[in-house]
Structures are given as structure tokens and as C-alpha cells.
Structure 1
């Protein structure tokens, strides 16, 4: 069952989209409360695990200079920023995933049998461009620098691969999530939450840690500096446009939907 905090914050989520309710349905409370800051059961346990993973990852990165052929001057300055961004992404996404699992269990066989929307209906071209530039373009640059003998580039490629894995898992979870709805109102909410959850995954933020080396130690191969600057600008620029387009395409909630709990 939903908590009072979940019901209140779910009502706030609906109110911001033009739907006024005194008390939302149980399904909407379970799903929407966490999206406005309510903490589902088990939240702090999950955060504890994330803190542990962060500490272990950061500890491991501190020992990169001990690897054969690696000097401190080869280690990317933005390595801990990559870890921090990944942890923030997971900390935002995992509570939503847990809440949706609770909602699916509560809904049971009352769930509407509707196909989930195609990824093409959820992601716009600018968003996809940012994804490709950040990881595809970043990988191409990294390989080119590594071929020139840069140990920094090899380590950066490893960080980029880890970031791509995190983004891929989280984004796939949003896009492949089954439809969780019991009526037309909750079906519209399902579409809106899927659209909103995509904006928790901003691939271009994993291009930004390169700026730490560009602005401070210049550990990257200097002949690639203009390419790296262009890479960051292109990744962030396409992402900004993608977010603007995505928000404009956000599905509206029908005012005649059933959002209020019956007593």
C-alpha cells in the first residue's frame, strides 16, 4: 500500500499537469509519489549500497597509477566525476524502478494489455544524436588518441565504456518497461512518466569530465585538444536541443481521466 507521503506527492505531480485530485488512486500514488520526492520502502538501504559502490570505485581509481605503464600524469582528472555522475543517475533511477515494481505487484492481472511504445516514439533525433556523439564519437576519439600512444586515452576509454554501460542499462529499463495501467487515465500517466524518466538519463554529462583535463593539467594529447573541445560542445549542444524538443512533445493528460481514488 502507498504511504501518506506518496499520496500527497502524487497529487502534487498531477496538479502540476493540470489535474486536481484530493487523493489519487492507489496505482498513481505508488508510481508518482517517488517522482516528486517521496521515498519508497527500502530506499535508504538501496542508497547505502550505492554509497558502498561509490566508495569502492573511488578507492580503486585512486590506485590506477600503480598499474604497469601508468603514471599519475596519465590518469584522467575527471575520473571521479564520471563515478559521481553514474551514482547520481542510479540514485535517481533506482527508487523509480522500485516504486514501479511495487505498482506492478499491486496491479496484478488488472493491468491493461497494451504494448509499450516504440523507442522511436519516446526518443527524438537530437537526443539520439547526443547519445551517439557522447559514446560513439568519444570512443572514436579515444581510439585515435590511444593509437598515437596515449595512456590517458586508454584510461578515458575505460571510463567511457563504464559510463555507456550504466546509461545503456538505465535507458533500456525505461524504454522496455511494460505498460502499467488499469484505465485510460493511468495509461496516459504511464506515457507521461516514461517520457519524463528519459530526461533522467542525459548522456552528454559523461562528455563533461573531459573538461577537467582541458582546463587544468592538459594530460590529453595536445594535438587532439580542438577535437575534444568540439566533442564536448557537440555532445552538450545536441543534448540541450534534445531536451527542449522532448519537453515540447511531452504527452498531456486527458482532463476526463479517472485519477481520483474512490471511497
Structure 2
């Protein structure tokens, strides 16, 4: 007998125990017992080693992370065509946004990440994707990009950062974008509104403060020399359950 989250990894249905637990929490895992398919409700359930398991396919499976669906939602809403774009990905992490833009036709992605060793192995050998690690984006400059800054600047900057306010990073971006270049950033209220507005489990539940954030972040971006095109809800919530938002702006 073995825990079902471990069985999923043993049978190659999940890349890691953490991913297996995510699949279970999303209600995507079933097991066949006495000729009946039963849904797994918790990762600790113990089953025989030869049990037949099934993971229901999801839209996110075509990407290295579910975060890619957030950016995909923005691209679908804006109908922005990014074929042949040179893209800067701030907060690259496992590479969800990088994966998304490459699959939508971008020519190259330069990723910036403060951590190390997070990029999914499926992207490591992709010559269209560059990963620059150990860089704090609040101090980002052309020199940090180690010769990967395109002549005239990037066509598009995408950003997904946590545990820091975007207002600490956004001022560095105009100089890295070409004239009329695009910005698509994921706005996470839990890292923007202040601790006083964060409730149990890290959830922001004050609608007035969330509405004020929309006004404030758009004004901030406008003051940096952008024209905001839209500010929309992310098609999926953050891992902690917070509603997140996507802002699209064009550099003046």
C-alpha cells in the first residue's frame, strides 16, 4: 500500500509529489477499485501498488505551469499578435509565461528570476528561451541582461512577481521597451494593498480596496509613460484563491 500522491509519481502521471497533490486538489484524479472509478479526495489515501490511476486532462497540461493560462487569457482578450516578438519575462520562475509566449509565436524570451534552478526542465534546452537567474528586478538594468537586450528594446514585457509590489519594478521597464512596446503584467492584490487589507489565508476581501488598486496601478503605469489598454480579471485565480488581474499597456 502506498499514498496516492506517491503512486501518481511512481506511475509517471505526475512530475512530482507536489504536482500530484495539486491534481488531487483540483479533482482530476480517479482510481479504479472493484471495477468502479472513484475520485481521489485527499493525497494521503493509501492504495495497492498495482492500482489503476487516471488523471483528467486540463487546458494547463499544454504548458509547464497553470500560470500560463493567465497570460493566455490576456492574449485572447486583447487579440494581441506576438509572432516574432522579442519578449522580456520578469519573474520567470518555472517558465509558464515564457512557455506561453513561445507557443504563441514569439521569436525569443529573456527571463529574469531572483531565484535559482526553477525553470522547468522542458524549457531548459529551448534555444528560444534564456534564463538569467539571481537578478532582483527592482534594480533591473540593461547591463543585467548580459547582451540579450534587442536593438531598440523588447517588443513585449510580461511580468508575474510575488512578495513585492510591482511599483518597485515598473519604473525600470520603459527603458527596456521599444517605442510602442507592450506591457502585460499580472497584478496580485495580496502584494499590493498592504497587510491591513489581507485576511485569513492571505485573501483580500475588501472590494473597495481592490477597486482602488485598479485605479492606483493604472495611474502609476500611465505616469511612467504608458497608455493603459485594459485591466481585466485573470481567467483563473491565484494559488491562494485571490482574484488576480491583468493589465495591458503600450509605451508612448
Higher normalized strand content (fraction of residues)? 2
TM-score using structure 1 length: 0.24
Higher relative contact order (CA 8 A, sep 6+): 1
The structure whose Rg is larger is 1
TM-score using structure 2 length: 0.25
Higher normalized helix content (fraction of residues)? 1
